[in-house]
Amino acid sequence: MIRTYRYRIKDSSAASQLNTLARACNFVWNFCNESQEHALRWNQRWPTGFDLNKLTAGCSKELGLHSQTVQAVCEQYEIRRKQFKKRKLRWRGKRSPGWVPFKASGVKLVDDTVRYAGHAFRLWKSRELPGPVKCGSFSQDSRKRWYVNFVVDVPETEATTGTKQIGIDLGLKTLATCSDGRKIEAPRWYRNQQRRIAEHQRKKRSRPARNLQAKIANRRKDFLHKESDRLTKECELIVVGDVCSSKLTKTNLAKSVNDAGWSLFKNLLSYKAIARKVVYREVSERLSTQTCSCCGVIGGPKGREGLGVREWVCGECGAVHDRDVNAAMNILRMGHHTLALK
Ligand SMILES: [Zn+2]
C-alpha cells in the first residue's frame, strides 16, 4: 500500500533555499506550458512527458535542481493536463504555493536531515518512515510553511476483526448517526471561530485569519481520522448514504455542510475500509428518512422542511423513531440489498 508521510521542515533559513528551488521548478513548468501552447498554435502533436524530458534535458545544473526533479515536473505536467482534461494548464508564478518534486535517488534521509542537490534541510521527525522512499516532494502550505512529503510503500494493515454491520446517516446536527443508535457529534469549530476570522478579515489581517483557518482544518481532519479509524476497526460492513454535499453547499446550509466535512469523512472511511478489508458501500439516501424501518411504509418527515422533526411515530405500525437512527437503519438495509443483488 502506498502512503505519504509528511514532515515539517525546521530551519527558517531553509525557506529561502527552497523558494529558489521552487522558482526553478516553476520555470520548468512554465516552459512545459509554453511548449504545449506552441503545439496548440501550430497544430502539432501534443508533447508527452517523454518529449518534454527530451526538451529540458541538461538544464538541471543551471537551475540548481536535481535532474530527476526536472523530469518529475515534466511528467507531472502531462499527468495533470490529462487528469483535468485541459488543453493547457495554469502559469505558475509567485503566488503559486511552492512545489519541488523529487525521485528516490534525488534525496537522502539521514536521521532528521534530508539532503537534496547540495542542500541539507532538517525536519521535525515526528515519526519513523516505515520503508524506503519511492518518490516525493517539498511543498508549501497556505501559511508559506515548507514540508517534505515522502511517498512510501508500507506493509498492509491488518484486516478488521470487527463484526458490526453499520449504516451511517450523515447529518448537520450530528455529523453521523449509526444504525446501532450511536451518534457522532460534529464539533463545530468553524461556527465558533467564525466571528474571530471575520474580524481578522475585516481588518485586513490576512495572516491570523489564515492561521485560524488552517488550525480549524487540522483539528477537523484529526477528529475525522480518529472517528473513521474506530469505525473501520469495529465493523465488517459500512454503508453510507450519498448526501450530495455539492448541492447542499449552494443552499443556506452551506456553512454547516463545509464544517461537517462529509466528503473528507467519506474519503477517509473508504480508504481505511479498503486497507482493513471492510466492505464499504455508498447507497442512495432517497426516502431513507421518510420510510419506517420497521414496516417499510413511507410516512416520515419530508425533505428540508421536515428537518426540524427529530422524532416521529409511524402511522402504520406505531413504532417510535428517532429521525436519524431510522434513516441509518434504512441505509444499512439498502446496503444489504445492493450486496444481495451482486
Ligand atoms: Zn412502521
Q: What is the mean pLDDT of residues 142-166?
A: 87
How is residue 45 annotated by DSSP? P
Q: How far is the CA of 182 from the centre of ligand 1 (A)?
A: 21
CA distances from 204 to 110, 142, 197, 200, 255 (A): 42, 16, 10, 6, 22
Distance of CA 306 to the CA centre of its chain: 32
Residue 175 lies in a domain: yes
Residue 310 half-sphere exposure, CB side, CA atoms within 13 Å?
A: 4
CA angle in degrees (0–180, nearest 5) for 325-328-329:
90
Q: Provide the strand spans (E) within 25-132.
A: 99-103, 107-110, 113-116, 119-122
Task: State in Å: Cα 301 to ligand 1 middle.
Answer: 13
CA of 287 to the centre of ligand 1 (A): 14
Note whether 109 and 182 are same-domain residues: no
> pLDDT of 309-334, one tens digit each?
788 888 888 888 888 899 999 999 99
User: Is residue 206 very low, low, confident or very high in pLDDT (cuts 50, 70, 90)?
Assistant: confident
Same domain, 86 and 169: no
Please give the Cα distance from 36 to 30 (Å, whole number).
10
How many Å lie between the centroid of ligand 1 and the Cα of residue 283? 22
Range of the domain at 313: 164-186+232-341
Same domain for 127 and 172, yes or no, is no
Amino acid at 153: D
| Residue located via cell numbers 453547499 | 249
Pairing state of beta strands 133-140 and 99-103?
A: antiparallel
Domain boundary among 153, 178, 201: 153
Residues 143 and 94 occupy one common structural domain: yes
Hey, how many other C-beta atoms are within 10 angstroms of the C-beta on 225? 14
**Ligand 1 midpoint to CA 321 (Å):** 9
Are the C-beta atoms of 193 and 216 separated by less than 8 Å? yes
13/132 same-domain check: yes
pLDDT score recorded for residue 205: 85
Q: 327 and 182: one domain?
A: yes
Residue with cell 515536473: 73
In angstroms, what is the span from residue 299 Cα to ligand 1's centroid? 8
Same domain, 131 and 6: yes
Task: Establish how many alpha carbons lie within 13 A of residue 189's alpha carbon, considering only the half-sphere containing its beta carbon.
Answer: 14
CA of 289 to the centre of ligand 1 (A): 12
62, 98: one domain: yes
Number of domains in the chain: 2
C-alpha cell at 87: 488543453
Could you tell me if 148 and 170 lie in one domain? no
Digit-coded pLDDT (tens) for 234-273? 999 999 988 765 556 566 665 555 556 788 889 899 989 9
Q: Are both 170 and 116 inside the same structural domain?
A: no
Please state the pTM of the whole predicted model: 0.72
CA 317 to ligand 1 center in whole angstroms? 4
Measured in Å, residue 304 CA sits from the centre of ligand 1 at 21
- H or E element: which one contains 168? strand 164-170
**How much is the mean pLDDT over the chain?**
86
- 25 within some domain: yes
Phi and psi, residue 165, nearest 5°: -120, 125
Strand order across the beta sheet in which 133-140 lies? 2-8, 146-153, 133-140, 99-103
pLDDT digits (tens, 9 = 90+) for 91-149: 998 889 999 999 998 899 988 899 998 899 999 988 888 888 999 999 998 888 899 99
- Is 282:266 a contact under the CB 8 Å cutoff? yes
Same domain, 236 and 280: yes
In this predicted structure, what is the pLDDT of residue 256?
Answer: 58
C-alpha cell at 325: 437512527
